[in-house]
Every structure is written in structure tokens, then in C-alpha cells.
Structure 1
């Protein structure tokens, strides 16, 4: 029976909502793994692409480490060794962590044992949600919200890592062969929306969830600018490839030119030519390149070089956020189950701001003014990565819709391509 006084009733309802959200998020993670064969669970074909089995265990480790161990009286760990095996990078935990490049070398615990671990954690989390000590309610609520958003991040990583691991195979096996293909058509014309600039507010506000790197809210001045109304398409990027863009050092940052020389890049990740025609490996297997779809799986270096070749530039993260502020968070997300970017409809301002592809910005991943990481191991979540990375905005076709917002700051190293990353152009207004 729900409590009668208003304060307690509000707290009770919050935990009811969290319980439903917890069950929904955890179920979606396992749903994403349903198409996998048992052999797929242990693959790790690159340092940045973890095995699906590891993701399934790590997100459970997060709830166990930051909620069950400190706040559920009498909690018994499923296996004490998992505190070491499935920690990702948290240095301030006692157990340390297994090296990231070696996650795919562990055949044990088995996949079945990892699913048993998930059930063990879920049952304990239900006990915590149903009988949280009153003095810890606020902290527990906040950490559950972080844990759910953390699991949504790993759902996206699951999708992208599965794609990378399967595409490594010369057979180009499909994750799901039934994923629908978009009909081939020509791209919509490229147009721009104008913004006058001025002094504007940036960062998260209100009661909704946001990571610490989205705060504090602060002001910045923007010069007048224009932002493209859609993402760069495959056809437009192919013109850059055909024009010798990967052979012209004048277009590339020094580190980018070194990267394409050392790695032999000649096109975006997953593009390959067959009988003189470009094809793209998708989660449904290899398909002919669709000219109207957004170009995807490009590094920051490629996005910057393309923008320079096109006579434009990448937007700053603040230009992007100013353009997105107040707009509905709608687009093509993981919820649609397509797991591939779709063409813009055309004719509308600022299409594809959310979903389809993460959008590279020209902004380095740095703290906002007055930013302070929280104390303890949870303070390692974002703050310690504020060096050498670039900010992306908007979410992708592998992001859950409830996980996206205008203030979200994703970040990756400039050479990385395996995530669903695309390009939106910007230009100055004289």
C-alpha cells in the first residue's frame, strides 16, 4: 500500500518509476544480444571493441560496485573475482581491473555464468529498490539513474562493437539479415540555417538527468554562423574520395595525414569496392552504398578534411547546442531497431540533429568553467578523460531516444571510427 504523507508518497513513486526503468533498460541489453551466436560473445577484434560478454557483465558490475555493496545490507557477491575482471577503468576501487586489450582472451566465466550474474544482480537490485534505507534514498536514486544511463551507453557500444567484430570477418556475416534496407535515391539538396550569434547559455539545467560534464551552466559568445540543414551524405563524401581527398596532404591535419599513411585509409570504415562499385558493411551484412544516406564511421580527421575540401568547417559544440536548444529530441534512434542511419527527408531546417549519426564538432573535450568532478571512484566517469579527445553531439541510430538531449557531450579520440559518427557542416557569416 502506498504511503499517505506527501513527501514519503513522492519518494515511493520515484522508486516505482526507477524500478520500471531498471527492468526496461536491463531487458533491452539482453534483447540486443538475442541474435548472437555463442561464439560471438567472446570476440574482441580491436582494443576499443569489447566482447559482448564483457559488456553484459560490466554493467552488472557497475550496479554491484556502486549500489549493492555499499547500500544493501548483507549483500553477497556472485563471485568476488568479478570485481577485478569486469571493472573497466576505475582506479579508486580496491580490486583494480583486467587490461582492456585482453578482455577477449577470457573464455571463462562462460556466457551462461554471466547471465546468471546478471540475474543475481537484478534480484539484489529489486531488494534494494523495495527496501532502501531512508538515510540513503537520495544517493541511491542518483546512482541508479547514473547506472541506467551507463547501461544505455553500453547498449550503444554493444551495437557498434558487434558490428565491428562481425565486419572483421571476410564472410561479412549479418547480425540480423532481416534489417530493412533504405531504397536507393538521390540526396536532398544541401541548405543552411542562419544564426545571428551573441551571448547565450550552455549546459544542463532543470531536474532531468545529465552527466557532470554537462555542467555548470554558463554563458559564451558566438559569432554569427550558418549550420547545414542535414548531415553530409555518402554521395557527397564519395565525391571527396573520387577527387583524391585521401591523397592530398593539404587537406589534412598533421596527425590525420600520419594516420591515413600508417593505416592505409582510402575511404570511411566499412566501405569497400566490388566490381567498381562502392559497398558498405552494415549490421545486415554487405550492401550497395546508398548515396542519400549520411556518411558514417568517419574519424574527426576525415570530417575535418572533408569540411576543408568543401570550403566550409565543422561547427563548435556550442554552435551545435545553440541550434539544437529547445528543439524536440526526435530522430532515428536504436528504439527503431534499424541500427543504420537514414536519409534526410529534405526541405526542413536542421534535420537529423538527433539520431542517425553522432556529429563531430571542432571542440576539444574540456571542462566547463567551474567544473569539479565528484569525489571517489564515480568522479572518474568523465572528468579524467578531458584530454586529447573531441566532442560529438546528437546521438546516433545506436543510441536510445531516452538517452539523448541537446546538452549531451559525447567524446572520442580523433582517429576513432567504429562508432556511428557523421558530419554536419558549418560556415561563418561575414
Structure 2
């Protein structure tokens, strides 16, 4: 992460800071203090905690960059530190929903005070090191905007009445999708990873390096609900031979029979607008890596590697259906040639484990805990989703989750050998 990459004026930088921080608040519009306190599972966090943690990040790594800074609420550092062990002790993640204090009103005041202090710091002039930390904090905030939406969706789904996050979300009437076709990708020696001249990137996207791609092809669009329904009805969740061992164990233990938010009738699903009919033409989502891999095997295909995916996506502009559409649900692929929906709508599972690139070096100090220490037992997803901010994603972006995770907007693009 090179600070020189962010050589914009102080006014522009301040406007970006204010816009992104306000967007997090906008996502909470209409929600009650009770809504923002719910933690529906250990992997999710309450909305109030997201609001506080992102503020803690700026206080700790931007304001705290000044040795003379003194926090007015030092005891909150324990409550809102996520996983930065070298920054101090951490409140247990599965117990974040018990944090009724500080109140939502106090968290609002906390955000306002830290925002004012960071804005004043930006306006006064900052060096390249602090520019880089502020940009990292804004990218971190955008990650939590998506997590806020996915965590709220899971919480409302767990409620017996299945309330809507936003009842008036637009509905797309979709036509039948483009027929699925496999398009050949480039092969041979190819470069992937972030180039220093291309703007912000997390450390796990670096260094740019050469890799070898065998002959392969990627599907022109993601797998749809209708195509996944065929897998369900064909007994895909009952056929052990389709599944990785750990995946089959979870299917048996948890009783998985369909994607996370599909109802038993296989005709309706829970969305952030409440219950809606399943549209057979839109990309299937809320699929684990295990389910994606089993579907690919059933379909006589496989999942793409992240190098194959990035090599294809790098030739396309970052355009698609993102958080800014305010739909918060995938839409059907447009009828165009080439690879469709590489960005937005759904994160796409890849066949690649989340490991370091050759020559990887984490950020120095406490910020080195941001990505590198999670490089075990996780799988890479690419492309962003309908809950991802548009200016947060890029071809080299590496998202990662454990293979059983289902509550993210994650789906499937097929690949095959040639």
C-alpha cells in the first residue's frame, strides 16, 4: 500500500472521508436500537458494533498515530477491537450482542467526535503515512458496510416474523438468461496481482507476479437459481459422491437441503425486502464453498482458480450491480456477449485456497494483522456483490471466507479444463 498512490487534494480526501462515513449511517436509517443490538450467530456482529468498531479503527490507527493522542474512552478499546492482538485485549466475538452499553446514542456521539477529529487532521495537512492509514480505514469501513447488510439479513431471517430491512426495495422483472457458454481464457504465463500504479490495494493482493494458466474456459455468466434448483431436485444434497468430505459432514450435521435463505417450498426466499418469490433467472447466492464445489461436480465442471478469474476480469471495466443500486439482491445477467457479471451481484467462489502470493509482505506493525494471519483454512472469492460499494472493488481484490460460510452474497461461476 503506497501512500503516493493517494495524491489527491485535502479537500477531495475530506469529502471522500465524509461520504463513506455517512453512507454507513445511511444504511442504518430506519433501524431501531434493538435492531442494531442483535447478534444472530457467532460469525455475525451487531450493527451497533460495526458502527463502533469502524470508529475505533480511525481512532486507533489515525488519531493514535500521534503519540500525544489520549482517548476519552480508553475502556472502549477492549470492546471494539476486532482481532488486533498487538493492539491490546479483545472482547470475545461471539459475545458482542451482549454489549448493551455503551448505548447507541453514545456510539453516535463517539462517531461524531472521532469524525470531527479526523476531519480536522485531514484539513490541517497530513503526511503520506497518515494518508495511507486513512485510505485503509475507508476501505475497511466499506467492508463493514457490506458486513452490516449481510449480518442484518441473517438477523432478520432468524426472527420468527421475517421482517424486512427495507420493504420498498425495487423488484426486477427478469427475462430468461443468456444460455450458458464457456469462453476460453488466456493460457500460458500470465501476470496477476495488484500493480503499484493502479491505486489502492490490500497487502494480500501483492506483489504482482507471474503464474501459469493451463488451457481452460470460464462460463459466460454465473449459475442461476433455476439451474441450482435442478441440482436440488436431482438429489444433489443426498449424493455423497458429489461432496468434499468436510462438506458432506456439514450437510449431514446441519441438515442442509437448499441455499441458506430458500424456504422449504423451493419457491420463495428471504431477502432484505422480506419474503419474495425465487426468480429462476438471477444468480443463485448464499452458497458455501462446499455447495459451489458440489454443484460444479454435478454439472460436469469445476470452479475457476482465482488466477483464471482475475485474468478474465482484468480485461473488463469495473461495472455492474453494486450497493449503490439499493436493491441489495442479485439481478439477471444482461444479454451481451463475453463474460457477464464479473463484478457485482454475487461474490464468486474460486477453487483457490487463501494463501500468500510469492514474495508477500504484510504491512508493518499492528496493521500487519489485517490480512496475513488469516491465510489458512479459507477460500478466495472474487468480484464483489450487490452489497459491495462500487468504488471498493477491483480485479485483483481477494475476499476470503471459510468453506462453510453461507451468509454472504456468494455464488458460482463454472470453469472447465480444455
Q: State the TM-score, normalized to the length of structure 2.
A: 0.96
Residue 283 of structure 2 aligns to a residue whose secondary structure is: coil
Aligned counterpart in structure 2 of residue 271 of structure 1, from 242, 262, 273: 262
Corresponding residue of 2:270? 281
Map 1:3-18; keep pairs closer than 5 Å.
13-18=8-13
Is structure 2 residue 104 aligned with structure 1 residue 111?
Answer: yes
Is structure 2 residue 241 aligned with structure 1 residue 250?
Answer: yes
Distance 1:326 1:196, change over 3 A: closer
Deviation at 1:15, TM superposition (A): 2.2
Is structure 2 residue 35 aligned with structure 1 residue 40?
Answer: yes
Aligned counterpart in structure 2 of residue 50 of structure 1, from 38, 45, 50: 45
Partners of 2:187 and 2:212 within 8 A in 1: yes
Partners of 1:185 and 1:291 within 8 A in 2: no
Aligned counterpart in structure 2 of residue 157 of structure 1, from 147, 152, 172: 147
Corresponding residue of 2:303? 314
Deviation at 1:181, TM superposition (A): 1.7
Partners of 2:174 and 2:332 within 8 A in 1: no
Corresponding residue of 1:193? 183
Distance 1:336 1:184, change over 3 A: closer
Is structure 2 residue 13 aligned with structure 1 residue 24?
Answer: no
Partners of 1:226 and 1:426 within 8 A in 2: yes
Corresponding residue of 1:175? 165
Corresponding residue of 1:82? 76
Is structure 2 residue 293 aligned with structure 1 residue 293?
Answer: no
Partners of 1:185 and 1:290 within 8 A in 2: no
Partners of 2:49 and 2:80 within 8 A in 1: yes
Corresponding residue of 1:326? 315
User: Which deviates further from its counterpart, 179-188 or 383-392?
Assistant: 179-188
Q: Aligned Cα RMSD in Å? A: 1.4
**Which structure 1 residue ranges, 5 or more long, are not aligned?**
1-9
1:52-93 deviation digits (Å, cap 9, x = unpaired): 00000000000000010222x754423111111000000001
Q: Distance in 2 between matches of 1:292 and 1:389?
A: 29
Residue 165 of structure 2 aligns to a residue whose secondary structure is: coil
Q: Distance in 2 between matches of 1:289 and 1:138?
A: 49
Corresponding residue of 1:416? 405
Partners of 1:204 and 1:210 within 8 A in 2: yes
Map 1:276-425; keep pairs closer than 5 Å.
277-425=266-414
**Which structure 2 residue ranges, 5 or more long, are not aligned?**
none
Residue 118 of structure 1 aligns to a residue whose secondary structure is: helix
1:37-64 deviation digits (Å, cap 9, x = unpaired): 2210100011111000000000000000
Residue 341 of structure 2 aligns to a residue whose secondary structure is: coil
Distance 1:13 1:384, change over 3 A: closer
Corresponding residue of 1:4? none
Residue 180 of structure 2 aligns to a residue whose secondary structure is: coil
User: Which deviates further from its counterpart, 228-237 or 203-212?
Assistant: 203-212
Partners of 2:6 and 2:132 within 8 A in 1: no
Q: Distance in 2 between matches of 1:38 and 1:203?
A: 41
Paired residues, number = 413
Aligned counterpart in structure 1 of residue 207 of structure 2, from 211, 216, 220: 216
Q: Distance in 1 between matches of 2:305 and 2:203?
A: 20
Partners of 1:228 and 1:350 within 8 A in 2: yes
Q: State the TM-score, normalized to the length of structure 1.
A: 0.94
Residue 354 of structure 1 aligns to a residue whose secondary structure is: coil
Q: Distance in 2 between matches of 1:409 and 1:140?
A: 24
Q: Distance in 2 between matches of 1:427 and 1:417?
A: 24
Q: Distance in 2 between matches of 1:245 and 1:148?
A: 41
Corresponding residue of 1:144? 134
Partners of 1:397 and 1:420 within 8 A in 2: yes
Distance 1:148 1:107, change over 3 A: same
Partners of 2:6 and 2:199 within 8 A in 1: no
Aligned counterpart in structure 2 of residue 101 of structure 1, from 84, 94, 98: 94
Is structure 2 residue 221 aligned with structure 1 residue 230?
Answer: yes
Is structure 2 residue 86 aligned with structure 1 residue 92?
Answer: yes
Is structure 2 residue 54 aligned with structure 1 residue 65?
Answer: no
